[in-house]
Amino acid sequence: MQILTTPRAMQDAALTLRAAGRRIGVVPTMGFLHEGHASLIRLARARADVVIVTLFVNPAQFGPNEDLSRYPRDFERDRALCEAEGADILFAPGADSVYAADASVWIDEDRLSRGLCGASRPGHFRGVCTVVAKLFNLTQPHVAVFGEKDAQQLRILRRMVRDLDIPVEVVAGPTVRETDGLAMSSRNAYLSPEERLQATCLRRALDAAASRLAAGERSAAALRAAMAEVIAGAPLARADYIEIVDDETLEPVTLIGRPALAAMAVFVGRTRLIDNAVLRP
Ligand code: PAF
């Protein structure tokens, strides 16, 4: 596996691979990789000749009071995981090499990013869209793989690709969970043992909504209440938002008549976790 650390080296390598007719798959990550990322690398592996994993903790998607400086990092472990999963190139650019000091062009998606995490993290998706567009330009992928755990991010990036005519196929990988249901996330590393136990409330809340729906409940307010009740039962948890939105438009719904997305962000202690499930009537 090749390790590249400058945008220039990455783009040169990608253009050379393209010219040689190779099909490129990219898995953008912020590192501290886990089995969820490994599953995305395997999806890329099955769809491309050359798999590039990018590892960059993108400052532009963190707000001023967020966890950029303490975001978990372990380059050696990430390198070993990428190698074990058969990645061909690990692109890990230095913090200062990706954005020009006076960078002034950004990508703003302004519909799907209004609610959910976009409402609680202003500017977050502008940072995500901009860095992903830059990573696409640097890695020249035919296919890019993102996790369904970041449901809003996935829908926004698909919209970016559609609206800007970016010739990249976006593939979604299912959320990978711990045996007790907690969605794998690099941020789980922040949880104390007691917080870790209570963090299962996110998945239990989604399950509660799904079983009320299966029992015939169609009211989004009732399903949200069922979710909120589960979160309230975990003393270390505090909901940032609990929403049921249309799966396509991400607008709030009142009745589940077509596929909806149950999405939540919950602080467990100081750690903000997200999870979601598609609800099908
Ligand atoms: O999902 C992530 O880890 C990040 O948001 C991404 C897509 C790598 C952009 O920094």
Domain residue limits at 28: 2-173
Asked whether the predicted pLDDT for residue 15 surpasses 90, the reply is yes
Q: What is the pLDDT of residues 114-143, one digit of tens each?
A: 999 999 999 999 999 999 999 999 999 999
* Same domain flag for 10 and 87: yes
Of 185, 137, 183, nearest to 161 (Cα)?
Answer: 137
Last residue in a domain, options 173, 199, 214: 173
Q: Is the pLDDT of residue 95 over 90?
A: no
Would you name the residues annotated as active-site residues?
37
Probe residue for ligand 1, chosen from 40, 58, 156, 157 as the CB with the greatest number of ligand atoms within 8 Å: 58
CATH number, position 97: 3.40.50.620
In a domain, 166, yes or no: yes
Mean pLDDT value of segment 73-96: 97
**Contact by Cβ (8 Å): 240, 261:** no
Domain annotation covers residue 13: yes
CATH number at residue 241: 3.30.1300.10
Reply yes or no on whether the pLDDT at 171 is more than 90. yes
The answer to whether residue 87 sits within a structural domain is yes
Tell whether 281 is covered by a domain. no
Token code pair at residue 270: 């100081």
Number of domains in the chain: 2
pLDDT tens-digit map of 139-164 = 999 999 999 999 999 999 999 999 99
- Name all contacts of 221-225 with Cβ < 8 Å and 24+ positions apart: 221/254, 223/256, 223/262, 223/279
The residue to which tokens 């940032």 are assigned: 240
Domain check: are 138 and 7 in the same one? yes
Of 173, 205, 233, at which residue does a domain stop? 173
Say if residue 72 is in the same domain as residue 201.
no
207 Cα–ligand 1 center, Å: 26
The per-residue pLDDT for 80 is 98
At 53, the pLDDT band (50, 70, 90 cuts) reads very high
Residue 151 shares a structural domain with residue 246: no
| Domain-ending residue, one of 173, 206, 226 | 173
Distance linking the first and last C-alpha atoms of the chain: 45
For residue 79, name the pLDDT band (cuts at 50, 70, 90): very high
CA of 61 relative to ligand 1 center, distance in Å: 9
pLDDT at 109: 98
User: Could you tell me how far CA 13 lies from the centroid of its own chain?
Assistant: 26
Structural domain contains residue 178: no
Structure tokens at 267: 């602080």
Do the Cβ atoms of 243 and 252 come closer than 8 Å?
A: yes
Tell me what pLDDT residue 186 has.
97
Q: Does 124 fall in a domain?
A: yes
